[in-house]
Amino acid sequence: MAGNGERWPDRAEWAGKIFSAGWRESEGGTRQVIEPASGQVLAEVGVASPADVAQAGARAARAAGDWAAAVPSDRAEILLRASSVLREHRDTFRDWIVRESAGVPAKGDYEIIAALAQLTHAVGLASQPRGEVLNPQAPGGTSLAWRVPLGVVGVINPWNAPLLFAMRALAPALALGNAVLLKPDPLTPVSGGVLVARLFEDAGLPDGVLHVLPGGAETGRAVAADPHVAMVSFTGSIEAGRAVARVAGEGLKRVSLELGGKNSLVVLEDADVAAAALAGAVSTFGYQGQACVAAGRHLVHADVVEAYTDALVGHARSMRVGDPRVEGVTVGPVISARQADRIERIVDESVAGGARVRTGGRREGLFYPPTVLDHIDRAMPVFTEEIFGPVAPVLPFHSDAEAVELANDTAYGLTAAVHSGSVPRATAVAGQLRTGMVHINDVSAKDAANAPFGGLGISGNGSRIGGTASLEEFTQWRWMTAPGPV
């Protein structure tokens, strides 16, 4: 890394280590961090073994009591200082996000802005009213119910938005008085872990309240199983989410799962086709389609499907593919060979089944170009599977009812977008979609710190993070009665 990336944080302090009441050598060895665009080794981080996780869990449990007892305004002040540190070192965060996760600089800027919003919103959570005065069961008595921290929260983080997703769980959990074990994804352990630890160190977070434990599935299982962890917040694949839920379920822990999506962008015949196609391009091709909220289906009324597809193809062909650090590049590589292989299989099998490639469709290494397919049927993998790549399948429909039926033909239920010249009509269609989120005349891929984020079906377990939903997620009720006033 160049510039600020070498000056902050001090590489000699964190290289090859984990963060658990200070930077420590790990029992799990080390792992190299590889840049997808070049194959270059960027850094080396520690890998937390199950023994490391156990030690961190015990330290977090010891620190959690004092942190929960801290004056809420003191916790809020640390979050405000963390915001200042992030702003001061935003260039470093952006550089690491670009090089580790292969997003263009605009993607790095978006993550930073969104992470700052999460911190700001969490400041307000710290001062929310904590409970209620209930009607007592006997005259003159007292009945109170209030929210208390869970204790230690485990956060298992994905690679596709490492800073944002870390902060989306970490900021409210800390604001509400919990200690945290954060396990960043092994592909993005610096932007999703090391920098986060350093951020809160500089902000003055007390020792032991935050532990950053890079590693793979073994580390994640240890976090989910640790007896000191009361809740696990997981973002990632369905398969990994089910595994986390099984392990956490053995300990009867609270689990928040934010998983995948097969999201539809619906375009009615009275829509502004140019605006809808731009929203569709952003929804599918942004960050190479590697987002749970990306549009995986473009459902377009038959009267405008040709014009829409032509416009979408135009956007796809105008996008430059390459190293995201190069000026003018708008589409970087996908995160790994495994992911590139998956995208290639889904497209090739669909083409073999009769789909037509309008543009793209051929990878070069980890670089998969924006791709538009039509002549889709509902048995094809591009219709049924979450692609997690820059591929836009376009399907026509002939009525609003058919559009709803196509959109709902999935076990997922995360997000959707509906485009129409009539907002009431779009709202009526949106109201019939089985999704946890829906957006009118906009992209499918939206996130806001003050909004409850989450999905239905196999997109999650019904939990929500964001807004006042975070208060519900990261605290639990306590009830107290007394025979007289207290």
By the 8 A CB rule, do 298 and 312 touch?
Answer: yes
Give the Cα separation of 56 and 155 in Å (integer): 13
Rounded Cα–Cα distance for residues 387 and 390 (Å): 8
Do 268 and 418 form a contact (C-beta atoms < 8 A)?
A: yes
Helix/strand number for the chain, H first, E second: 17, 21
In this structure, are residues 67 and 211 in contact, taking their beta carbons and an 8 Å threshold?
Answer: no
């909220």: which residue's tokens?
A: 293
Residue 364 falls in the annotated catalytic set: no
CA distances for 293 relative to 45, 161, 416, angstroms: 30, 12, 8
Q: Residues 35, 100, 111, 258: which is the catalytic one?
A: 258
Would you give the DSSP letter of residue 191?
Answer: I
Angle formed by the axes of helices 162-175 and 90-101, nearest 10°: 130
Name the burial class of residue 269, with classes exposed (0-12), middle (13-18) and buried (19+) by CB atoms within 10 angstroms of its CB. middle
Cβ-contact 349, 380 below 8 angstroms: yes
User: Whole-angstrom Cα distance, residue 284 to residue 296?
Assistant: 7
Residue 145 three-state SS: strand
- Integer CA distances (angstroms), 127 to 130, 134, 200, 471, in order: 8, 21, 20, 11
Single out the residue of 278, 453, 302 nearest to residue 374, CA to CA: 302
* Cα gap 83→88, rounded to integer Å: 9
Quick one: which of 254, 244, 329 has its CA closest to 285? 329
- Is the separation of the CB atoms in 387 and 409 below 8 Å? no
Q: Is 292 a catalytic residue?
A: yes
> What angle in degrees, to the nearest 10, is found between the helix axes of 195-203 and 162-175?
40
∠ Cα 147 197 232 (to 5°): 45
Cβ atoms of 331 and 285 closer than 8 Å:
yes
Buried b (16+ CB within 10 A) or exposed e, 457-479: bbbbbebbbbbebbbebbbeeee
DSSP 190: I
Active-site residue, from 100, 292, 386, 473: 292
Catalytic residue ranges: 258, 292
